[in-house]
Structure 1
Amino acid sequence: MLDKEAGSSSDGTSTSFWNQDHKLGISTDILIQLCKVAKHAFLAAFKEYKRHENACAESLTNNISSGVSCPTLESKVMKHSQAALLLSSDFGTAWNARKLILSKQKLPLEAFTEELRLSRLILSNSPKSEPTWSHRRWIIKMISRSSSTQQEIINKESELVESIGERSKMNYRAWYHRCWLVSVSYMTIEQVIQELKKSKRWAGLHVADSSCFHYRRALWLHRRFLSLNWIMYFCRNQLSETGESIFTNEETGIFIGNEIHLLESSMTVPDNKFEDFQAQALHASVYMLWLTKLLDEEGKWEEMLAVISEEAGALATADGNQELKLKCF
């Protein structure tokens, strides 16, 4: 129909599509029209699917047949949503429709791996599409619940981000996806250490691409931000007689106890695991001193300074690092 409207050449060659060596090319002249048609077909199929679902829910007690099988409607929604997303990767409704269908039934692992292949294909054309990356994380969560191939998938995800980073510069969405794999503990300790090594090598070859450094950043500054906001909005939940906000000792005690535990764990990492062991220990100590100063300004937890100083001093003495000892104090 598109060729007919555009006026095909006399030899029958398509003016809208190009197909060669398993590659499909689409003329930019028809993309907008094609996208509109694809979205319309998807929305119509999705509307019919939801209407069928509502009818099934209402007729459960009456044993009335809807006349159309649910798998047929689901297949239509999946087919048309795929076409729409290949043309418009940020079409959130289509992604949500796929999640709805995939989560409503116990599907084999192959169904989710196929979904990973689809999102990978879409990312090859739209590498900075946040809805696509988000959908990929949802699929990984679904797979991780029952699959024994989780670590293999995680390795492939890391390779995917690296390959996309080569083609798409300053792609923070891709590197955030890689960081998410670490933060949700899908990676083993060995994999995290390997990630540090690989990203260091990659950063050396792409010094102008700060997205990788964002992935490797020191998290201690971010933790200051989180701690400050916790104190501002959660710790001050009581008012004095004058109406001023004050700290509650019990909640703050738990918070400080957790932070001291973090400090201790940061100081016991074997120095053969990370090259920047001393730097991390220093950052942990400085963070705790900063936190103590912040709390002292509020007139509370003066005794914490002695505890934290003792921890930092023990580290510096054991390590024999006088520079570290001076910096800590």
Structure 2
Amino acid sequence: MSDSIPWNLLNQLEYILESDPLIDEIGFIHPSQFDVLNEEVGSTSWSAESISQSADKANISGKVLWSRDHKLGISTTALLPLCKAAKYAFMDSLRQYKMHTKVKDECGEGNVPKCLSPSLTILEKEVMKHSKAILLLSCDFGTAWNFRKLLVSEQQEYSMFMEELVLSDLVLSYSPKSERAWSHRRWVIKMIAGKCSNLQEIVDRESEFVKKLAERSKMNYRAWNHRCWLVAYMPVGQLFHELNKSREWAVLNVADNSCFHYRTRLMLRILEAFLNKDQNGFSGEELDEMWKDELDWGEKLIKLYVGREALWLHRRFLASCWIKHFASTNHHKPWHSSKKSSSAYKIDRFIDNELQLFSSCATIIDGHFNDYQAQAIYAATYIMWLKKQIQVESLGIEFERLQVSGLKTLLNTACPQKAFLWDSLLQLCGSE
């Protein structure tokens, strides 16, 4: 390929990015799809001069860049030459920038040549421009991410921080599990926290952004981990709002443990705020009601969606916190209620309910479906775990009530190939 062709491609790409700052999605498409896109929407497409002359060498022909309605398509056949050109341009501009800053440091503030300051400004723009191009083509190029952090942190301009969020938006549009992009977003939020008046609005948009991305990219642990990280920046009112808002998504994705982990973080943060007297107007009765509602809701899901481990894991979290903070025993509650809440479980009522849940889930209705076997195993291991938790919490008065008969038989029936494991587990939990 002619040496000028990759540079023409890079110039065109950077021109498109500069001329349309509202681009919100990038995709890499096969050259054969360009004609289809043009026919469907009458789009604007871009071609590099002399590409057809080198088609036999680079397998690049026709149009390679497509842009319309704030969407950008890049031909897969142009990726390699584009990446090479963008990397070279970035590293060259970075080298010149470092050289100029070194001269500036050596000369001192008062002796900087007059021509140096404008050159530095120009070079900063060049570095930012080329780093954006290389990151959109290769999102794991750590040097580009790190240098953008350096320049943006030196400028400390709110608009530049917002531009970094937009850049990571673009990267995540084609690589939704890019750890570097998610890390960059967290860095931006840390930098602006305490320095802007609309942080809560930004955090709310971030949470909604993660939700939309999770809908397009299932089982996206990195996206949900980012959403969990945002919890620390949410006030109490927003925590309740997020808890209610995430319920619908959880119902439609009961196998995705990430959403239930997010709900766990929200509930723990609400509990922590209450224990630290950062109650923001809500009472102990409301906290009791929230936990009881989550337990009831989780029970309905367990019975409706058979054999989903994520639901049983979430119930372990709820039960553990309930025993520790909510159970009405001789233990002193971490908050004082002026009157006994009708929604508050006593430990005996809680155990009765869990035993009933176990009983309803322990029957293998159809042995041909593994879901029923899995449900029985999860129910049995949950009861054994609950018994151990009560023992650890020294609630001996209720301990004997969890002597469930037939556990060994149930576990061996549901999963006979793990009989040796069940024997060890039953001995550990003190069950038959």
Q: Which one has the largest radius of gyration?
A: 2
Give the stretch that moved more between structures: 80-89 or 32-41.
32-41
Residue 275 of structure 1 deviates from its aligned partner by: 3.6
Once the two structures are superposed, the pairs formed by residues 155-234 of structure 1 within 5 Å of their partners are 155-182=204-231, 184=232, 186-217=233-264
Residue 86 of structure 1 deviates from its aligned partner by: 0.7
The TM-score normalised by the length of structure 2 is: 0.53
CA distance in 1, matches of 2:334, 2:71: 64
- Which of these residues, 88, 91, 94, is aligned with residue 46 of structure 1? 94
Letter in 2 for 1:283: S
Indicate the residue corresponding to 1:99 in structure 2: 149
CA distance in 1, matches of 2:110, 2:260: 61
Indicate the residue corresponding to 1:311 in structure 2: 332
Matched, 1:270 2:291: no
User: Which structure's relative contact order is higher, taking Cα pairs within 8 Å and 6+ residues apart?
Assistant: 2
Indicate the residue corresponding to 1:242 in structure 2: none
CA distance in 2, matches of 1:143, 1:271: 32
Q: 1:195 to 1:67 in 2, by over 3 A?
A: same
Indicate the residue corresponding to 2:131 in structure 1: 81
Residue 274 of structure 1 deviates from its aligned partner by: 1.5
Letter in 2 for 1:192: L
Residue 273 of structure 1 deviates from its aligned partner by: 5.9
CA distance in 2, matches of 1:188, 1:52: 45
Q: 1:325 to 1:179 in 2, by over 3 A?
A: closer
Aligned residues: 263
SS of alignment partner, residue 155 of structure 2: coil
- CA shift digits 1:58-113 (9 cap, x unpaired): 11077142844321111111101000111111211111111100111232x22221
Once the two structures are superposed, the pairs formed by residues 104-123 of structure 1 within 5 Å of their partners are 104-107=154-157, 109-123=158-172
The TM-score normalised by the length of structure 1 is: 0.68
Give the stretch that moved more between structures: 19-28 or 317-326.
317-326
Matched, 1:56 2:104: yes
- Which of these residues, 121, 131, 137, is aligned with residue 180 of structure 2? 131
Residue 220 of structure 1 deviates from its aligned partner by: 11
Letter in 1 for 2:261: H
Indicate the residue corresponding to 1:27 in structure 2: 75
CA distance in 2, matches of 1:26, 1:134: 25
Q: 1:197 to 1:21 in 2, by over 3 A?
A: closer
CA distance in 1, matches of 2:331, 2:226: 39
Residue 133 of structure 1 deviates from its aligned partner by: 0.7
Residue 144 of structure 1 deviates from its aligned partner by: 1.8
Letter in 2 for 1:58: E
Q: 1:276 to 1:49 in 2, by over 3 A?
A: farther
SS of alignment partner, residue 176 of structure 2: coil
Letter in 2 for 1:7: Q
Residue 206 of structure 1 deviates from its aligned partner by: 1.8
SS of alignment partner, residue 104 of structure 1: helix
Residue 145 of structure 1 deviates from its aligned partner by: 2.7
Q: 1:104 to 1:209 in 2, by over 3 A?
A: same
Give the stretch that moved more between structures: 276-285 or 46-55.
276-285
Residue 162 of structure 1 deviates from its aligned partner by: 0.5
CA distance in 2, matches of 1:153, 1:101: 22
Indicate the residue corresponding to 1:295 in structure 2: none
Cα pair 2:51 2:62 within 8 Å, conserved: no
Q: 1:83 to 1:61 in 2, by over 3 A?
A: closer
Once the two structures are superposed, the pairs formed by residues 263-302 of structure 1 within 5 Å of their partners are 268=284, 270-271=286-287, 274-276=290-292, 283-284=320-321
Residue 209 of structure 1 deviates from its aligned partner by: 2.7
Indicate the residue corresponding to 2:370 in structure 1: none
Structure 1 unmatched runs, 5+: 222-257, 289-307
Report the aligned-residue RMSD: 3.6
Q: 1:325 to 1:124 in 2, by over 3 A?
A: closer
Cα pair 2:177 2:223 within 8 Å, conserved: yes
- CA shift digits 1:210-261 (9 cap, x unpaired): 321232347999xxxxxxxxxxxxxxxxxxxxxxxxxxxxxxxxxxxx9xx7
Cα pair 2:239 2:266 within 8 Å, conserved: no
SS of alignment partner, residue 145 of structure 1: coil
Letter in 2 for 1:145: G
CA distance in 2, matches of 1:138, 1:209: 27
- CA shift digits 1:115-141 (9 cap, x unpaired): 211211221111111111111111112
Residue 268 of structure 1 deviates from its aligned partner by: 4.5
CA distance in 2, matches of 1:39, 1:121: 18
Residue 271 of structure 1 deviates from its aligned partner by: 3.4
- CA shift digits 1:24-45 (9 cap, x unpaired): 2211112122112111211111
